[in-house]
Chains A and B, each alone.
Chain A
Amino acid sequence: MLLLCKARIVILAANHSERRHAGLITLFALALVSAAVLNFEVLLTRHIAIEHWHHLTTVVIAIALLGFGVAGSVAMLLSKSIISHYRGFLLLCSLALVLSFPISQLLASMIPLNMLALPWFGQQFFYLLLYALCWLPPFFLAGLYIIVNFMRWPRVISRLYGADLIGAALGAALALFMLEFDQFAFGMLLSPLLAMVALLLLLSRLAAKIAIITLIIASISILLFSGQQLLPATQVNAFKELSIRQNQLDAKLLWQRDSAQSRLSMVSSSGQHASPGLSLNSESAALPQWQLFLDGAQATPILLSADKGTSKAVFAQSIYAAPYQLLKRQPDVLLLGADPSWNSWTAYWQQANSITLIDQHKHLLPLLTAVNAMAEDNSTEQVSKIIPEQVKIANLHPRRFVETTTQYFDLIMASIGSDPVGSAAFSTNYLMTLQGLSSAFAQLEPNGVLAISNIMAPLPRDNLRVINTVVTMLRQQQLAPRQHLLVIRDWRTLLLLVSKQPINKQQAEKLYLWSQQWRFDLAAFPGLTREQANRYHIKSGVLYFDLIAALTDPASEVKSADLTNQYAFDIAPSTDHKPYLFHSFRWQSLGQLIADLPQRWPLLVGWGYILSLASLALIAPLALIFIMLPLYMNRQPQPSEYRKFRPLVYFSCLGFGFMAIEIALLQQTILLLDSLTSALATVLSAVLIGSGAGSILFGAKTISPSRLMLLIWLYSAVLFSAFIGFLELFQATLAWSHLARISLVFIVIAVLTMPLGLLLPYGLRRLPEQQPMLLAWCWAINGFASVTGVLVAPIIAMEFGLQVLLASALCCYLLAGWVNLASTRS
């Protein structure tokens, strides 16, 4: 209340100048609306990831962001009413915004969308569209609120834009704070609350209508707070693994926790029997276990009594015991990948000297605490230890760990973690790049082994890219791939064994005998024939044996290059500049896929890329329609200058360029900050605060078009050089603490993106003041270009790499500068 009173005093003081300049209250309310919508946007990424798949997030948010563009188009059509009744519009927008958050969530939860059925039933595309459209209203209303402010106070657009961006930054930071502290549900409630505070600020000006205000606030409060029960909680879709498991006999959800990265859910059920890589010849049944789900999928066994002597046999009969056959002594083991419980117990029962476990997502500590608590509460479950006591846990990204550790290991185990649907095309993986694997290889003891595991797809795809990366790495180090690489598999799992020293006869013989005993097939092994490679787990068609033979052919590297260039999928080695391990789609192969597998080809291509393209195909025409429609409906005479396409090009370039820079920085920063969440929080806040400050500080300055052009050239050169330097920065800050790296990245990006905030208000200020509808239209163009940017930028990054993406963004800014210059000259 005290704050509100103070705010009210400020309003009264500033009220006299309101007709010409937006008061503090206006700026504050605008910042709150932006904060509300950004908080919602960030939390929506988690909501969609939990409810459906995180790969869907980009698509849904892109469609939802259309709301910003649509708001511009609508504002253009209603420009006269907006100018004369701006207060009413602002009140209405903020009130509707408050309500739109819960209503959107409610409507979206009612749509029977099943992403898995997308290739089978056309109606699922319709549901997907509906689902995405449900999230549009909050973005539309926030966009409308912002543009009404711009239209009402065009002279102070730079301040307004600055407040908008800074508010957005705070909203994003707030959302990530909520996620980090397991307050996801409360975070979702914060958006309508923030919007309500904005509404209150606006209403505070209308003292005479106190009764109405009270009534509205009371209604909204009742709706919101009772809504916690009325509204559906964020729950996993019925088709996800967790839901299916919970339907099983005696299944119990034991524990659930939301973090910034994922929702962890632990389930106990007598129907859980995961035994990764267990031999068909094994006599052992699965060990008692719970299972841990990440966002309702990717079940990981948490073993409950693996320390008992009877369990030992299971771990000796699994494919994950293969690397131990090559080692000469009790090994120091480093575990970088999935299945921490299974892999650490394997190491334990293989008499490991030490076991270091990398817990990249910081799941294990809360998990161990929870398991201990559950073990105490639940006397019926025989829980002993889910990981061996001797395991040392490190909360670091695997890449950072192998770059910084001074310890050497006899065995480093990593996993690729492919998604069977191939929808993770735009996920970065900085461990499986040429540089990442080289760093891991460098940390092996002289007789050490690097083991990399993954599931096998019907057509070799991600695994082959990793094999190709390993082969390239070995060749770069002047090592003969065939002397250092062995591959073993069963019906589902492929395991690469990369030895530091050439594999000797005794090692090879030991592994061979072991593989025959437990009926595992070898796919790359000295002297192996094609028949021997396909004995126990028989595959037809393309065999890994053939492909690896071509890639490792000692006689000719040309054969390897040929295969890389002409294979059905993109299997070129991953690098830090193009770390998209799971993007393997190739246009040139599509025809052959369709011809060979007419009915099944959609199931074999990577869906991540296809979804991006499909969304673009859907959104680009929609954006064009919404840009052109208001022009068609409002065909009154306008100054000839603005009927030309220059504003269209200028604001399109800004919209696309801004998003492309943001995405390029975000993707590269994941390497520096170790996780997508940290990178998202830091980059989003830094870009928004940097450009917001830029808008406030420089947006009102008068700069000649030629000088602006020069500034853009300079800026492009600086940003591109800095971007190339990011990899150097990674090396230079390897040993820095997480907080120090976040601070550095924040400062660097905020400074680097300051000039970005200058160009939008600069362009808007150049529009004639008597033409507010043009201002709305330009806002719409910018909004639609941003949405298109969200979808096009990942496609460019996947196809050509991050440097090309940044270069194309900078070209857009240069084009905008040139258009501005040309417009002045003409």
Chain B
Amino acid sequence: MNMFHWRLMLITTLMWGVMPSAVATHKYPQADGFVLQRQQMVATIKDYKVAGINVNEQRILNAMANVPRHRFVPPHQRTKAYQDSPLSIGFGQTISQPYIVALMTQLADISFGMKVLEIGTGSGYQAAILFELTPNVYTMEIISPLANRSAKLFNQLALTKINHQHGNGYYGWPQNLQFDRILVTAAAAHIPVPLLKQLKPGGRMVIPIGPVWGNQELLLISKDELGNSSTRSILPVRFVPLTGTGN
């Protein structure tokens, strides 16, 4: 590493120090022994490219580096918490692969202050990541033991400002709020119409399609200013037939 690089690093560090941050980085209560593993996970996510798409937004990578993922998985799974794979969290549910969590967050394109609804709290990890980006996070879980577990964990990790509820997410947040972004973290076989109604014009919804352990494809739903919705499948497969007719 030459002098130029050292200087660049110094300037960058100083800049971070003086610039007002638009990201609400949460201070987790205690230090843990997983910092290195988290950094490796972030590096893996950064390098991971599914046919041209990768997660390159620094604030999302920072969020992934800050949230202690191992706290959101059952104790017997902690050694695997930072592997880039889904993990079982009980009740047939999973905590998504870190890359998918990061990619969904990037696709949602969340700015500070936006109101974000997550359907399917599960482990609570995705909600914690969202909370790194905006303080207005709402999350719902239909499976009662998971809802209780995540509520307890939010308390333990001082994430009490995350709004969480145990209930059926199909109908959206009960108070009929309007959201800028909605993330559905349970794989979908259909797009809930009532949820679409809670999405503001110009809003975005991200939904994974297909089995969590299988070939999951992300669906990005955009609502235009007139209230019309369209979908975009986010798995741009480069793979084309050899005849080239796909080109």
Contact = CB atoms under 8 A, between A and B. Distances in A.
Interface of A: 114, 116-117, 119-121, 238-240, 243-244, 247-249, 270-271, 273-276, 278, 280-286, 299, 420-421, 457-459, 490-492, 519, 535-543, 546-547, 549-550, 559, 562-563, 566-568, 592-593, 596-597, 599-600, 603-604
Interface residues of B, number: 53
11 contacts: A239-B92, A274-B189, A278-B191, A281-B228, A286-B193, A420-B214, A459-B237, A541-B237, A546-B246, A550-B245, A597-B239
A466 B24 CA distance: 52
A600 B215 contact: yes
A276 B171 CA distance: 17
A559 B235 CA distance: 27
A568 B215 contact: no
A280 B85 contact: no
Interface string B211-241: 1111101010100000011111101111111
B210 interface: yes
A278 B241 contact: no
B17 to A, nearest CB: 37
B34 interface: no
A470 to B, nearest CB: 18
B7 interface: no
A30 to B, nearest CB: 44
B52 to A, nearest CB: 9
B190 A249 contact: no
Given A238-B92, A566-B243, A249 B211 contact: no
Contacts of A240: 92
Contact of B92 (A244, A280, A550, A599): A244
A539 to B, nearest CB: 5
Contact of A541 (B143, B191, B230, B236): B236
Given A458-B215, A546-B247, 10 more contacts: A119-B213, A280-B196, A282-B193, A420-B210, A491-B231, A541-B237, A546-B246, A567-B243, A568-B242, A592-B239
A604 B214 CA distance: 9
A549 B245 contact: yes
A286 to B, nearest CB: 7
A550 B241 CA distance: 11
| 10 closest residue pairs by CB, A with B | A116-B213, A540-B236, A603-B215, A244-B92, A550-B245, A542-B246, A566-B242, A541-B237, A538-B232, A491-B231
B201 interface: no
The interface centre, meaning the residue of B85, B144, B191, B245 with most chain A CB atoms within 10 A of its CB, is B245
Contacts of A537: 230-233
A492 B221 contact: no
A784 B231 CA distance: 53
Contact of A249 (B51, B143, B229): B143
Contacts of A271: 142, 168, 170
Contacts of A547: 241, 245-246
Contact of B91 (A247, A457, A459, A593): A247
A707 to B, nearest CB: 54
A421 B239 contact: no
A249 B239 contact: no
B230 A421 contact: no
B50 interface: yes
A695 to B, nearest CB: 46
A244 B91 contact: yes
Contacts of B247: 546
B88 interface: yes
A542 B239 contact: yes
A364 to B, nearest CB: 22
Contacts of B215: 420-421, 457-458, 600, 603-604
Nearest to A246: B92
B236 to A, nearest CB: 4
A596 B193 CA distance: 36
B238 A541 contact: yes
B221 A280 contact: yes
Nearest to A549: B245
Given A117-B213, A273-B170, A600-B50, A568 B239 contact: yes
Nearest to A242: B92
Contact of A597 (B51, B166, B190, B191): B51
A278 B240 contact: no
Contact of B86 (A120, A550, A600): A120
B192 interface: yes
B25 interface: no
B91 A492 contact: no
Contact of A116 (B191, B214, B228, B243): B214
B142 A550 contact: no
A632 to B, nearest CB: 41
B51 A280 contact: no
B163 interface: no
Contacts of A459: 237, 239
Given A547-B241, A559-B245, A566-B242, A421 B214 contact: yes
B211 A420 contact: yes
Interface in B33-58: 48, 50-51
A280 B241 contact: no
B2 to A, nearest CB: 33
Nearest to B245: A550
A278 B193 contact: yes
B242 A596 contact: no
B209 interface: yes
Contacts of A592: 239, 242
Contact of A491 (B88, B144, B228, B233): B233
A240 B170 CA distance: 21
B62 interface: no
A363 to B, nearest CB: 20
B231 A538 contact: yes
A271 B50 CA distance: 32
Contacts of B239: 459, 541-542, 568, 592-593, 596-597
A519 B219 contact: no
Given A120-B86, A243-B92, A593-B239, A285 B193 contact: yes
B93 interface: yes
Contacts of A121: 85
Contact of B50 (A247, A273, A420, A597): A597
A459 B213 CA distance: 17
A384 to B, nearest CB: 22
Nearest to B52: A540
A249 B168 contact: yes
A458 B93 CA distance: 23
B143 A519 contact: no
Contacts of A283: 193
Contacts of A567: 241-243
B219 to A, nearest CB: 6
Contacts of A239: 88, 92, 213
A249 B142 contact: yes
Contacts of A597: 50-51, 237, 239
Nearest to B171: A285
A585 to B, nearest CB: 14
B113 interface: no
Contacts of A542: 237, 239-241, 246
Contacts of A599: 48, 50
A239 B237 CA distance: 28
A673 B205 CA distance: 48
Contact of B213 (A120, A248, A550, A596): A120
B139 to A, nearest CB: 15
Contacts of B242: 566-568, 592
A113 B92 CA distance: 13
Interface string B184-195: 000001111110
B189 A492 contact: yes
Contacts of A568: 239, 241-242
A275 B241 contact: no
Contacts of A604: 215
Contacts of B211: 116, 420-421
Contacts of B171: 285
